[in-house]
Amino acid sequence: MLPELMLLGFAAWTLLLLLTTVGAYRLSRVFLGRAGMSEFPADRVEGQDWYRRAMRAHANCLENLPVFAVLVYALRAFSISEPAVDALCVLILAARIPQSLVHVCFEQTDRVVSVRFALFFVQFACFFGVIALIVLHR
């Protein structure tokens, strides 16, 4: 049950990130009369640096969410439940949230990008760890 909760947390984080960054920025600009609803084309990223990073952080969540979902599905399809799986799934979400925050909140210096990459690498390693556990159990 813990992998499903972590997947749900990942999805909730993806939506919360969108709502509190890109969504808040766009809606505030529209409601204050500073922009029209059609002034945010998907093929042209404009705006302040933090806003562009927020869009990329949200897109990165969207890119990784299906991977996590497939792994959780495979865990359940093969009836795999063990503490190592739970720990890996917790680590995935525990690294995803600060990775997004580092991406949005800080100017992207070499040091900051290194921290962000380390957090991504934790998730990446955990994804492969879950895959390995699935393969070993089949």
* SS3 sequence of 16-64: HHHHHHHHHHHHHHHHCCCCCCCCCCCCCCCCCHHHHHHHHHHHHHHHH
- 89 burial type by CB count under 10 A (0-12 exposed, 13-18 middle, 19+ buried): buried
**Per-residue confidence of the chain (138 residues) as pLDDT tens digits?**
999 999 999 999 999 999 999 888 888 888 888 777 777 777 777 788 998 999 999 999 999 999 999 999 999 999 999 999 999 999 999 999 999 999 999 999 999 999 999 999 999 999 999 999 999 997
CATH of the domain at 26: 1.20.120.550
Tokens representing 10 are 């990942």
The pLDDT assigned to 117 comes to 97
Instruction: Report the number of distinct structural domains present in the chain.
Output: 1
The pLDDT assigned to 44 comes to 73
- 98 burial type by CB count under 10 A (0-12 exposed, 13-18 middle, 19+ buried): middle
Torsion, Cα of 69, 61, 15, 52 (10° steps): -170
The pLDDT assigned to 77 comes to 96
The pLDDT assigned to 137 comes to 92
Residue 41's domain spans which residues?
2-137
